[in-house]
Structures are given as C-alpha cells and as structure tokens.
Amino acid sequence: MAQVRFMVMYDDESLDVSLTDGSRLQVSPCGSEYLLEQAPPPHPLQERRRARHRTRFTISRHRDLLRDVLKFRNKYAAQPYLPEELIPKHLRQVGNLTSEVCEVAWPSADSSTLTRDSSGGVAVSSVDGHAQLTLSGCGQEFTAEFTCRSSRDQNRNQNQNHQCSSSTGVSDTDDTPTPAEFPAHTRVLQHHSRLHPPPAWTHPLYLALSQWEAQRAQCSDAVGQSGAAGKERELGHAHIPPSETVVKTRLPFPVPLTCPAPHQHRWRYGSGASDWSDLSASAELVRVVWCQGIIYRLIGGAVPVVEVSAADGSVIRSNGVLAEYFTHYRPSASTVRYQPHYITPLITYST
C-alpha cells in the first residue's frame, strides 16, 4: 500500500488523504464510510476507479491505512469513532473493566499528583487512572489520553447515555450488560491547542497550567512576560478557581457505529489536492493538516490563529489579523524561549 503524503481534516470533521501513488482517500464526518479513488489512469479517456465501503468492513489490504487515518481523525475530532473490528487485539481492554467509563474524577488544585518530565511538561492523571492530560514543555498545547469504549449501534448508545446520566442515582431496572455484551475499551489519544481546549479537559488543563507557570516563575533566566495574566486571558471562560475537592468531568463519547444518514455524506469528486500548494484552492474550511510529521492547525475566532506543531515539541503561532508575525515557543529543561518571526513576501522562509 502506498504511503500517506498528507492528511486534511475539514471543519465538518471529514478527511481528505493524499497517497504517494496518486490515489485519494476520503472519510465521512462520522467516520463510518470512506471513498477510495485509485490513481489516475495513464490514458485521459479512462475513468478513475472509485470504491465506497463501510469503514468497519474494510478489506485487509486497506486495514492498516484505515487504522492510521482513524487514529488521526480521533486525535482532532470532538468524538472518536472506534469500530471494534479495527481495534488491534493488543490495544483492547476486555474484562479489565467492570463498568463502562463515562466520567472521571480529577484531583484538587492542591494535590501533589502532578508530575513533570525532563522537557518541562506537566502531566495530570485522574483519580481512577482512566484519563491523563500532558501539557507540553512549551506550555502551548496538550495531549489527552483516556479510556473509551468501542462504537456501538445508535439504540445502544441511547441506552448508554441513559445509564451514564443516571449513574449517580438509583435505577429501577438492571441494565448492566452481560460479559458477552460488554464492549471492548481502548485508549484514545487527543491533541489540542491551549487556546481552544474542549470542556472535558478544562479542569486538568488549569491544574497543569498552574504548575507549569509556577515552575517557569522559579527559573531565574525565564524570558518574556508573566504567564499568569496570559494564562487567564487565553483560557477565558475555561478558567476554573482552585477547588478543595475532586472535580468530575464527562469524557468524550464515541459516535455511533453506523451513520443514521449516510445519504447526506458529501464526497469531493475531481483531481483533489495532489500537492501541498493545491490546498489553497479548496473552498472548504480546513481545521488540521498533517504533512511529513508536522501538524498545521487553524483556530477560528475574531482573530484567526495558525499554529504549527513541530516534531521537536515547539509551537509556532501566528500573531495579528494578517498573520505576518509568528511567535516560536521552544521548550527546554529550565526555561521557555520566545522568538518572533516575520514573514517576508516572496521569500520561502524568513526569520
């Protein structure tokens, strides 16, 4: 199978993947269907071969590719799509859990359960161990890893929503699934920007940022403005005051196994983006782009922001409406350095 050249996630969470052999893979917003277009034939009168399949029933030839693409989708989508057929056996957690994980409890702000790595990052683990948030060394992005069950049919999802909503109350009926019906669980990894955290990760992010700002203030050679005011300004409504008790948050819920409206899936027919420069011609709203291990993230708002997550753990973020200035956040063991960049027209790269 050909290698992936780059992957694009649009604002509706649909995917467009370009492969090295010229073929093109598209995944629906829900993740339950995909359309694979073969490489263009050598003769211009020959039509391009297309195949539309259900994701969970993909053929063995495309299985590894779909696993990688779904991993990318679940990393940046609001809700993961986890068909049990595509979860590797060594990553399944069957029989290790007595109940489905719907929410987790996070420690208080004065807890000592926060850990720090060599690059300056801060990790916060939930009390039950089902979720962990890791703030990067530069303090501008974070990864969240949590336990999530596999996707189920829509009627079972509704029953599960009822069970989760009444988990703290008393139920008249026993809807606990039998061991044969109990779904498989796996670990899901998500990657988010500090500027736009999902509600599920607001509290642990505040804990990690508080610890990160404290250790940064202790560095005698720290450069840049104070981070406390910047932290509260960037989090905005996500700011949570310190709490003396544990805080419970609901984890992201997987989307249904089958889409209730597959006829509404929109497919992009045509040559597509055969190269990196062709993405500018697309009229769709782009959310995330992966190319050669580099992540390009677009964050909407009053002032749109472009973020570049490099492989070395640093983050480059645009400043201003025209995005002509960029700030480079570099992590290190003792401090975080800020280096501004200016974009010069007609120059491929400038500092």
Looking at the domain assignment, is residue 96 inside a domain? yes
Beta strands in the chain (DSSP E): 4-10, 15-19, 24-27, 33-37, 50-54, 103-106, 115-116, 122-125, 131-135, 141-149, 185-193, 247-250, 286-291, 294-299, 305-309, 315-319, 325-331, 336-342
pLDDT-based confidence at residue 322 (cuts at 50, 70, 90):
confident
**Structural domain count of the chain:** 1
Dihedral through CA 99, CA 103, CA 108, CA 114, nearest 10?
A: 80
Q: How many CB atoms lie within 10 A of CB 109?
A: 17
Looking at the domain assignment, is residue 330 inside a domain? no
Tell me the per-residue pLDDT of 76-89, one tens digit each, with 9 for 90 and over.
999 999 999 999 98
Looking at the domain assignment, is residue 137 inside a domain? yes
Instruction: Tell me the residue range of the domain where 139 lies.
Output: 90-168+176-250
Looking at the domain assignment, is residue 107 inside a domain? yes
User: Among 64, 65, 60, 84, which residue's Cα sits nearest to residue 25?
Assistant: 65
Looking at the domain assignment, is residue 224 inside a domain? yes
Query: How many Å is the Cα radius of gyration of the chain?
Result: 22
On the question of pLDDT at 111 being above 70, the answer is no
On the question of pLDDT at 70 being above 90, the answer is yes
Tell me the per-residue pLDDT of 1-48, one tens digit each, with 9 for 90 and over.
689 999 999 999 999 999 998 899 999 999 999 999 988 888 877 788
CA–CA separation, 103 and 35 (whole Å): 34
**Weakest-pLDDT range from 142-156, 208-222, 274-288:** 274-288
Looking at the domain assignment, is residue 215 inside a domain? yes
Looking at the domain assignment, is residue 272 inside a domain? no
Most confident of 21-35, 109-123, 160-174, 316-330: 21-35
Q: What is the mean pLDDT of residues 79-100?
A: 83
Q: What is the mean pLDDT of residues 244-255?
A: 86
